[in-house]
Amino acid sequence: MALIAIVAISDALASQAMKPYFKRLRPCHEVGFAEKVVLVGNCGGDYGMASSHAANTFAVASFLIILFNKKYKWMWLLLPWTLLVSYSRIYLGVHFPGDVLAGFLVGFVVQMAAVGLIWRKLRP
């Protein structure tokens, strides 16, 4: 349940709060820049700040690493997965690097709040 909540909150913050607020065009919509990107499929919505993919994957990965790293030593492998997903957004021209960094920040804040709430509930 916590993972579903983390993804829902980080996605809502990035997509429904930040993108309409900042109104920063995606690289594939920028005049003079769009022809320089490798676009596979469609570009997505008009705005890209912050990357929902980065926010969601980083929130999930860091949440799982913090909670389960002592039990499962391979949990750190979730970080390269997050970096690969996030880099793909830049490579495909749907996000600028700053969009991805903002997504990481959103994901980090959301998962830290979730971990804090869980630890508060579990503490005697």
pLDDT recorded at residue 89: 92
pLDDT in tens, the chain (124 residues): 889 999 999 999 999 999 999 999 999 888 887 777 767 778 889 999 999 999 999 999 999 999 898 999 999 999 999 999 999 999 888 999 999 999 999 999 999 999 998 888 887 6
| pTM of this structure | 0.89
Q: According to the CATH classification, is domain 2-122 in 3.20.80.10?
A: no
pLDDT recorded at residue 61: 96
Query: Three-state secondary structure along the chain?
Result: CHHHHHHHHHHHHHHHHHHHHHCCECHHHCCCCHHHCCCCCCCCCCECCCCHHHHHHHHHHHHHHHHHCCCCHHHHHHHHHHHHHHHHHHHCCCCCHHHHHHHHHHHHHHHHHHHHHHHHHHCC
Amino acid letter, residue 86: S
